Chains A and B, each alone.
Chain A
Amino acid sequence: MNRSLFVGLRRLLSLKLYWIVLLGGVLIYAGYASSEPNTFNISHYTLFLFCPVAVISSLFTAYLVGTDYSDGMLRNRLIIGCERWRVYLSWMVVGLIGAFIIYFSGFMITLAIGLSKDHAFPMETKFYLVRLGIGVLVLTAQVAVSLIVSVLAGKRNKALIWCVFLNAVMVLAAYALKNLVGVIGIGTDAYDRFLLEFSRLFFHGTSFGQMLLIWLDYGANGYHGDLQEIMDIRPTVDVITMISFIGIVTAAGILIFRRKDIE
């Protein structure tokens, strides 16, 4: 994977668009954080950051993969004997590295602004670290999903359109689920339990779900009490579920890519 990975990283770092997104994202986030009038909640801000970064990363992964297809550089890699699974994993690693650079930049800005203000760090450290870990997995999952969608789509524009569509569906699904669970509450029959489990999976496993959870955690929403069961983190189950999801999606992506005819 090394050669493909080095080429991918060099490509990422040579992409002006990436640096513009990185700089723009950091500036927007810094502006947003600076304008916060109340006591600055570092834990919430740093966790919340995963959500926009996951969306940006999914689009960026689609752009990288789509460009390799559209500009034909994928052909060059395969012709000289790069194995497809290595190319696929290198895309994933490059997408993740790109995502984590953006996240880390935002994290450092948040920390710097937070510490310079009247800051608070209300979360218990252990709890914060668990949520941070789940945030990393959510980011990875979103890149993995974006990657398989991009490979199926092929060309750059198609890949980007599908990833935008996917994110839009996730926003709608997150709000729909939140309202559904909020309205009917959590009962004990089979349907309610299924809805509860599905909602937990969705809220903890997707960027938009996380976004909602973090908002709800502020207590600004009346559903807080009803959703407590969903909001509680079950570290072992959540981590295993997420890792399994990422593994299955990645394995499926590699299988599809290995069988795909390249034009």
Chain B
Amino acid sequence: MEYAVESDQLSKNYGSVKALSSVSMHVPRGEIYGFVGRNGAGKTTCLRVLTGLQKPSEGSYQLFGVDYRNRREIRHQRNRIGAIIDSAAMYQDLGALENLRLQLLMMGVPDKSEAEYLLGLVGLSQAGKRPVRTYSLGMKQRLGIAMALAGFPDLLILDEPVNGLDPQGIIELRELIDRLRMQEGITFLISSHYLDELARLATWFGFLNHGKLIREVSREKMEQDCRHKMILSVSNRQAFLRVMEERKIPYQLLDGDEAEIYQDIPVTELVLMLNKYGCNVRRITEQSESLESYFISLVGGNGDE
């Protein structure tokens, strides 16, 4: 599989604070990679490092197969990236059109009609010369997306892109991202803590918690995992743990005698398996899981940050 972004044991420290810890992520080309994590999990730090705004403390990363330490080559690869990190970046005293023209000039793209086209694409054709500081948050976010799209990059990195957008704006953004992926083959790396939105868009997911990437999974695999979540009430916790570890079945212990299993196993087989080790199954229920509950099952639901 070809990757647009690939990191190897990427770490970033701020003094004694470890913001990123040995993150090895893989963003396949042409996919929409959802970067999931709570506030403060290290998503923005990771994106800052990948976009060259900050240097990693340890580890390395590659953009389109080129190591970031290869200065000459990496410049060309960075020119294939558009991004909004933290908040949309633009001169507040200039209008949308002039901001876009500057961005295009910076990228070496001959302007002609591209600035107007991009403004139309994000529904800001009417905004024209009005200074950006008079825009609503949603309008600024749209302009930020248009600027990130300048020159039609191969990789678009969007940090919390739906922040400030109204429901209609969110739907339009979703459609735009889908369209760009299908028509232009653009790879997306999107971080968000709006899990429902990501669940509708992303084809790959990376789950980040306390600066660590705890799981990377494709949409298909996740849906598979989500469909087969079983909640069990067992008589012997130790025996249950032994079976899960031996059979390498992903699980999560809940309060009391309950546990969750994230694998498709026929119920009869599971009960027999546990019985063999002296563990009775008192109750068993199947649930389909949302991205939200999947995420919580991964990081734990106690909300510690």
Contact = CB atoms under 8 A, between A and B. Distances in A.
A96 to B, nearest CB: 20
Contact of B53 (A6, A10, A14, A75): A75
Given A14-B98, A75-B53, A261-B54, A83 B75 contact: yes
Interface stretch (A65-73, A114-122, A203-211): A65-73
A73 B74 CA distance: 20
A246 B265 CA distance: 72
Interface string B87-101: 111111110001000
B92 A71 contact: yes
A80 B48 CA distance: 13
B146 to A, nearest CB: 12
23 contacts: A4-B106, A10-B105, A11-B91, A16-B93, A67-B91, A72-B86, A72-B88, A72-B90, A73-B89, A74-B89, A75-B51, A75-B53, A76-B89, A76-B106, A79-B51, A79-B78, A79-B81, A79-B85, A79-B157, A80-B82, A261-B54, A261-B55, A263-B53
Contact of A11 (B48, B75, B85, B102): B102
A193 interface: no
Contact of A81 (B77, B105, B147): B77
A131 interface: no
Interface string B115-134: 00000000000000000000
A174 B189 CA distance: 55
Interface in A194-222: none
A15 interface: yes
A77 interface: yes
B105 A3 contact: yes
Contacts of B74: 81
A263 B159 CA distance: 13
B76 interface: yes
Interface string B53-94: 111000000000000000100111111011101111111111
